[in-house]
């Protein structure tokens, strides 16, 4: 460090401002007194880093110091990819991401086992199914929690200009890392106590059953509160994260990039909406009443936020691609920033309108005031039209961001532009799959509201769109898995290239997810040929389905539509199972 600072003073003394020159001279004088004083000054000068966060005693720090002392020629000639790198301790960010991924897919596997047992063995355990349905609220938060962790890491990498591991310099801050651990740990305990609260509630509740269920529900509420405290700490840490002292000495203050600002904005929207939903649900459960007015409005807002994790993943890819091509701290093109703002603001407007429409609907039902023609009034139609326009703006914004990723090039032209990494490509494809199928589902919902004489065709299109949406439910978490592989690779190598077999696992997961969505559309088109009156509530056949509301199918066998060709139906189901196995195997390989 002393040699590095001495070279900077020798080469830039003439052009350095007077105040910064004094600071640099003081730093050089203190650094020559000894290692202990040097470490103390580094902590005092940074001010924002954790005590002892500069891991000078580690093998990686010793190697970097030796390279700096040997001179820039030796440092440039050393290829970290070719040398034998010892096993590195996983950083806090990677550890939290692994826990979130394992937690999500473990509960997803439980839901899959419950559905398969229901289909094949006709086992209908209401307690298990109800517990999985209630815990799905926490499940829907996990992809965004993963994106929040990734946002913290990307902000730290942007402050380091992608030169080396940010944790070497104590960023993210120690209290930010503690907030990450608290968020992940409290989330696990909240889901556990939610499951225990649902399972312990008897069908015919007595006094003891109510007390036990309320006991577990109280712990669930407490750990949910602790989880949101951790989320708040992480958001504050990401917002006020600053560059280390030596980076400031050379390049001055580095502010957050436009993609990171948008990701923070999306995280605040998402977690505030789900906080209201969790509070309203807990209030209804405590008072032993049905879903209330506030809970319905909050659920509508949560459904309006379902695209946020995929949008955040797309924005993260845009920032990474910009860093790879222009050596900037994740800044995208000027015209792309317009689409970023359009997308983020439209999501907020769509959420507010969804809550407003639900409030209007509930108020109309309570007052029981219908117009003479039985319609819902002009206000309801106006708000629904605004919702459709806001959703259209969201899709336009996402499309613009995707185009900006594909058109991002180096300042020297396309010949100097590196290719997109496999992780970025697969993350973009998975995010676009999630957005496209939700766009089809929204279009199907609008078509369903329009009266049509061809009821059978309208119902088939709606079922196909809903099935494709259900089959893409794990896409946001797959984006988190892919980006986690990139983060771990960055800590080993600044080029951020995972191993070849890891990239193959990423491609396998991406192809299996896309193929599963296509197979679901084909299967539903082949299977559902009954009119809408014959099956008013069509069951979900997707093995990937695990959303805000879990529907395990109809109870009456006659109401369940059957495929026309049994051989073709069994073949498609077998292909689904193969795709699911590939996804699980790919995720296991990436995590390993």
Tens of pLDDT, residue by residue over 85-127, are 445 678 889 999 999 999 999 988 888 887 777 666 655 555 6
Confidence of residue 590 (pLDDT cuts 50, 70, 90): very high
Pick from 507, 482, 326, 295: nearest CA to 408:
326
What distance in Å separates the CA atoms of residue 315 and residue 263, rounded to the nearest whole number? 7
Is pLDDT at 509 greater than 90 in this prediction?
yes
Please tell me which residue, 59 or 495, carries the higher pLDDT value. 495
User: CA-based Rg of the chain, rounded to a whole angstrom?
Assistant: 27
CA distances, 366 to each of 294, 361, 363, 370 (Å): 14, 9, 5, 11
Please tell me which residue, 161 or 67, carries the higher pLDDT value. 161
Structure confidence at residue 530 (pLDDT): 43
410: phi then psi, degrees, rounded to nearest 5:
-75, 160
Structure confidence at residue 156 (pLDDT): 86
**Percent of the chain surpassing pLDDT 90:** 29
Is pLDDT at 12 greater than 50 in this prediction?
no
Least confident interval from 272-276, 280-284, 411-415, 539-543? 539-543
Q: Per-residue pLDDT averaged across 392-402, rounded?
A: 94
What distance in Å separates the CA atoms of residue 100 and residue 487, rounded to the nearest whole number? 15
What distance in Å separates the CA atoms of residue 443 and residue 451, rounded to the nearest whole number? 14
Confidence of residue 288 (pLDDT cuts 50, 70, 90): low
In the chain, domain spans:
2-77, 120-255, 291-420, 422-592
* Beta-bridge partners for 410: 413
Structure confidence at residue 545 (pLDDT): 43
Q: Per-residue pLDDT averaged across 43-57, rounded?
A: 39
Q: Per-residue pLDDT averaged across 543-570, rounded?
A: 43
Please tell me which residue, 525 or 79, carries the higher pLDDT value. 525
State the residue for tokens 């036990």: 212
Residues in the chain: 592
Contacts of 352 (CB under 8 A, 6+ apart): 301
Q: Per-residue pLDDT averaged across 321-330, rounded?
A: 73
Structure confidence at residue 204 (pLDDT): 60
Structure confidence at residue 477 (pLDDT): 94
Least confident interval from 48-52, 290-294, 493-497? 48-52
**What string of DSSP letters covers 324-381?**
HHH-SSS---HHHHHHHHHHHHHHHHHHHHHHHHHHHHHHHHHHT---TTS---HHHH
**What string of DSSP letters covers 389-430?**
HHHHHHHHHHHHHHHHHHH--BTTBGGGPPPPPHHHHHHHHH
Tens of pLDDT, residue by residue over 244-258, are 766 666 666 677 788
Is pLDDT at 343 greater than 60 in this prediction?
yes
Q: Per-residue pLDDT averaged across 329-344, rounded?
A: 86
Tell me what the pLDDT averaged over the chain comes to: 74
Pick from 23, 91, 89, 30: nearest CA to 59:
89
| SS3 per residue for 153-214 | HHHHHHHCCCCCCHHHHCCCCHHHHHHHHHHHHHHHHHHHHHHHHHHHCCCCCCHHHHHHHH
Is pLDDT at 559 greater than 50 in this prediction?
no
Structure confidence at residue 173 (pLDDT): 83
**How many other CB atoms are there within 10 angstroms of residue 579's CB atom?**
25
Confidence of residue 553 (pLDDT cuts 50, 70, 90): very low
Structure confidence at residue 244 (pLDDT): 72
Counting beta carbons within 10 angstroms of the beta carbon of residue 574, is it exposed (0 to 12), middle (13 to 18) or buried (19 or more)?
A: exposed
Is pLDDT at 297 greater than 60 in this prediction?
yes
Tokens of 122: 């006709």
Confidence of residue 8 (pLDDT cuts 50, 70, 90): low
Confidence of residue 11 (pLDDT cuts 50, 70, 90): very low
Tens of pLDDT, residue by residue over 460-492, are 566 666 666 777 889 999 999 999 999 988 877
What distance in Å separates the CA atoms of residue 426 and residue 481, rounded to the nearest whole number? 11
Q: What is the DSSP letter of 557?
A: G
Q: Per-residue pLDDT averaged across 328-354, rounded?
A: 88
Is pLDDT at 50 greater than 70 in this prediction?
no
Structure confidence at residue 257 (pLDDT): 85
Structure confidence at residue 562 (pLDDT): 42
What distance in Å separates the CA atoms of residue 179 and residue 159, rounded to the nearest whole number? 20
What distance in Å separates the CA atoms of residue 480 and residue 212, rounded to the nearest whole number? 36
Pick from 391, 370, 393, 513: nearest CA to 445:
391
Confidence of residue 51 (pLDDT cuts 50, 70, 90): very low
Pick from 362, 363, 359, 357: nearest CA to 380:
357
Q: What is the DSSP letter of 558?
A: G
Is pLDDT at 547 greater than 80 in this prediction?
no
Tokens of 410: 């180096």
Structure confidence at residue 243 (pLDDT): 75
List the Cα angle 546/549/555 in 5-degree steps.
95
Tens of pLDDT, residue by residue over 348-379, are 999 999 998 888 877 777 665 445 444 556 76
Tens of pLDDT, residue by residue over 183-233, are 999 999 999 998 888 877 766 655 555 777 788 888 999 999 999 999 999
Please tell me which residue, 265 or 524, carries the higher pLDDT value. 265
Tokens of 54: 């500069």
* Beta-bridge partners for 413: 410
Tokens of 363: 């108020």
Per-residue b/e over 56-68, b at no fewer than 16 CB within 10 Å? Answer: beeebbeebeebb
How far does CA 27 lie from the centroid of its chain? Answer: 41
Is pLDDT at 37 greater than 90 in this prediction?
no
Contacts of 563 (CB under 8 A, 6+ apart): 523, 526, 527, 569
DSSP 3-state assignment of 111? helix
Q: Per-residue pLDDT averaged across 255-265, rounded?
A: 88
Confidence of residue 397 (pLDDT cuts 50, 70, 90): very high
């Amino acid at each position: 460090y002393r040699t590095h600072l001495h070279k900077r003073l020798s080469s830039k003394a003439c052009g350095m401002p007077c105040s910064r020159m004094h600071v640099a001279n003081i730093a050089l004088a203190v650094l020559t007194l000894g290692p202990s004083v040097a470490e103390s000054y580094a902590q005092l000068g940074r001010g924002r880093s954790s005590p002892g966060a500069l891991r000078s005693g580690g093998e990686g720090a010793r190697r970097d110091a030796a390279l700096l002392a040997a001179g820039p020629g030796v440092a440039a000639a050393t290829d970290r990819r070719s040398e034998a790198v010892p096993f590195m301790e996983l950083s806090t960010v990677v550890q939290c991401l692994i826990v979130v991924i394992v937690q999500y897919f473990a509960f997803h596997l439980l839901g899959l086992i419950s559905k398969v047992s229901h289909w094949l063995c006709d086992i209908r355990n209401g307690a298990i199914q109800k517990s999985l349905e209630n815990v799905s609220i926490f499940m829907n938060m996990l992809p965004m929690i993963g994106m929040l962790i990734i946002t913290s890491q990307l902000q730290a990498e942007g402050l380091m200009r992608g030169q080396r591991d940010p944790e070497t310099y104590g960023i993210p801050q120690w209290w930010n890392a503690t907030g990450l651990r608290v968020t992940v740990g409290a989330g696990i305990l909240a889901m556990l106590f939610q499951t225990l609260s649902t399972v312990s509630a008897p069908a015919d509740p007595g006094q003891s059953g109510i007390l036990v269920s309320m006991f577990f529900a109280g712990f669930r509420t407490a750990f949910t509160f602790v989880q949101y405290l951790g989320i708040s700490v992480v958001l504050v840490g990401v917002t006020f994260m600053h560059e280390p002292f030596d980076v400031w000495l050379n390049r001055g203050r580095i502010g957050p990039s436009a993609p990171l600002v948008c990701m923070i904005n999306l995280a605040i929207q998402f977690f505030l909406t789900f906080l209201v939903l969790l509070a309203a649900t807990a209030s209804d459960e405590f008072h032993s009443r049905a879903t209330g007015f506030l809970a319905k409005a909050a659920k509508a807002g949560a459904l309006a936020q379902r695209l946020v994790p995929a949008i955040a993943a797309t924005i993260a890819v845009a920032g990474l691609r910009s860093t790879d091509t222009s050596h900037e701290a994740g800044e995208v093109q000027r015209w792309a920033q317009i689409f970023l703002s359009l997308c983020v603001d439209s999501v907020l407007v769509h959420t507010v309108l969804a809550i407003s429409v639900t409030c209007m609907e509930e108020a109309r039902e309570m007052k029981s005031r219908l117009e003479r023609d039985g319609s819902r009034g002009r206000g309801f139609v106006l708000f629904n039209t605004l919702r459709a326009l806001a959703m259209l703006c969201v899709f336009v914004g996402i499309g613009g961001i995707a185009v900006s990723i594909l058109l991002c090039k180096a300042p020297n032209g396309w010949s100097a532009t590196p290719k997109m990494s496999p992780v970025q490509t697969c993350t973009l494809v998975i995010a676009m799959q999630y957005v496209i199928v939700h766009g089809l589902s929204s279009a199907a919902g609008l078509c369903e509201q329009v009266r049509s004489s061809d009821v059978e065709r309208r119902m088939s299109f709606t079922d196909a769109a809903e099935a494709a949406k259900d089959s893409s439910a794990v896409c946001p978490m797959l984006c988190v898995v892919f980006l986690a592989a990139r983060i771990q690779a960055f800590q080993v190598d600044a080029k951020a290239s995972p191993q070849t077999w890891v990239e193959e696992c990423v491609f396998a997961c991406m192809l299996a997810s896309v193929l599963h969505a296509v197979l679901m559309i084909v299967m539903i088109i082949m299977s559902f040929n009954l009119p809408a009156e014959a099956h008013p509530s069509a069951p979900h056949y997707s093995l990937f389905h695990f959303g805000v509301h879990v529907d395990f199918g109809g109870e009456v066998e006659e109401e369940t539509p059957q495929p026309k060709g049994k051989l073709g139906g069994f073949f498609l189901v077998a292909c689904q199972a193969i795709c699911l196995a590939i996804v699980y195997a790919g995720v296991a390989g990436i995590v390993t």
